[in-house]
Amino acid sequence: MIMTLRTSSPIIHRRPRQLFNIDCEASSVLEQKPPSFICCMMKSASSSMDTLVKPDSIGSDGLPIMPAPPAWYWMLLGRIAVLAIVGYSLWYYQFESLVTVIVVFILVVPMEKIFPRHREQKVRRPKWKLDVTYALSAPFLNIFGVIFAVIVGFFSFTWALGLIVRYFGLVAMIPVSIQPLIAFVLFDFVGYWAHRWYHEVPELWKFHSIHHSPEHMDWISGFRVHPLDFALIAPGFFFLIFAGFNPETSGLLAILQIITGLFLHANVSWRFRPLHRLIQTPEFHHWHHANEKEAHCSNYSGFLPLWDIIFGTYYMPHDKRPEVYGVDEEVPNEMMAQLRYPIRDWGNPLTWPLKFLRHPFRTIGACWRFYMQVLRGVRHSTFRRRGPFYPPFRD
């Protein structure tokens, strides 16, 4: 035991001595180096610090900007959000959307198989899962659609026109038996102009382009609609309600337009030539979705092609049929990315309330400028020259 202590004690004192000798040697080497060496070392250290912290990596708050998460992170987060939306829609609304998809499938798909417009197109064509996701998420997305519809309906001021009609008692002069027919015609007339503005006003087209992004027309493509695009029927609905028409009639017309829209997207070969100028047909609506310059701004009517004929937007060529669908814009392929696509320049929607609280007047001013820009586009679309129109933002 004593021998162990005696042999181990020199080892304990030897290590600090060696370290001290090394430090002394290093310090002596540094002392022998000229001052220029030290200056170069300091300059290189400062330059390395400059390269590590660049001025453009500092935010306005003085804190460094963190690098963005990788692409797979946002893709995973988006899919989790989509699954949550679909799950909530199915659970809370008692599988209402799933029943709707099954019913439409049973009614429309057999017709597409027996009378196909594009024979090579399959039921499980590209991006069919995306459209099914829209269909299953419809109950949840429609909540935001109703909110947007109220906002768009208010700022469209069609309710003011309705109040003028009610003030003069014009609806009361109409016999009750034909009031639904008059409501139908007026609803389609107002819907024509709302649909036209969604195509010819660039700020509105960003939302409506989601509905036109499918490159295949079939039983499920009509479900791909942005929630704000749901507000397309709001101006006509507001006009009828405030003019004094029966609210049930107005609601039924809105539902009828949504249901018939699903069938008009079907991949069927029916042309119904004698009816082309009387009512809307699948051929009429397929040309509306055709990605051809001559058809970009045409066939806006929801029921009666009469409005397209009067205002010069009717397009039904006799020598060809629509072949190419979709849009030229690079629309994302995921549902969450598509929902954000029209508002991607507005920043993160979750920060909008905070921005309003921090800069209320600046936020109100930005909204007002956006509204005035839309009104200028609406005025140009309404009073432009009659005939074909090719908007520059779609080139």
d(CA 43, CA 51): 12
d(CA 280, CA 302): 7
Are 311 and 346 in contact by the 8 Å Cβ rule? The answer is no
211 lies in a domain?
yes
- Total domains, the chain: 1
The pTM score is 0.77
10 lies in a domain?
no
Tell me the average confidence (pLDDT) per consecutive run of 10 residues in the chain, 395 residues long.
41 43 45 47 46 54 58 73 82 85 92 92 93 93 88 86 90 90 91 93 94 94 89 84 86 83 89 89 94 92 94 93 92 91 84 87 91 93 90 82
Alpha helix ranges (H) inside 306-359: 306-311, 335-340, 352-358
127 lies in a domain?
yes
62 lies in a domain?
no
60 lies in a domain?
no
Rounded to 5 degrees, what angle do the CA atoms 357, 360, 363 make? 115
Q: Half-sphere exposure (CA, 13 Å, Cβ side) for 332?
A: 16
Are 157 and 246 in contact by the 8 Å Cβ rule? The answer is no
Q: Which candidate, 311, 218, 325, places its Cα nearest to that of 267?
A: 218
Tokens 């309330």 belong to residue = 353
Where in the sequence is the domain holding 257, given as residue range(s)?
71-394
66 lies in a domain?
no
39 lies in a domain?
no
302 lies in a domain?
yes
d(CA 81, CA 350): 14
Q: What is the pLDDT of residue 127?
A: 93
d(CA 349, CA 295): 34
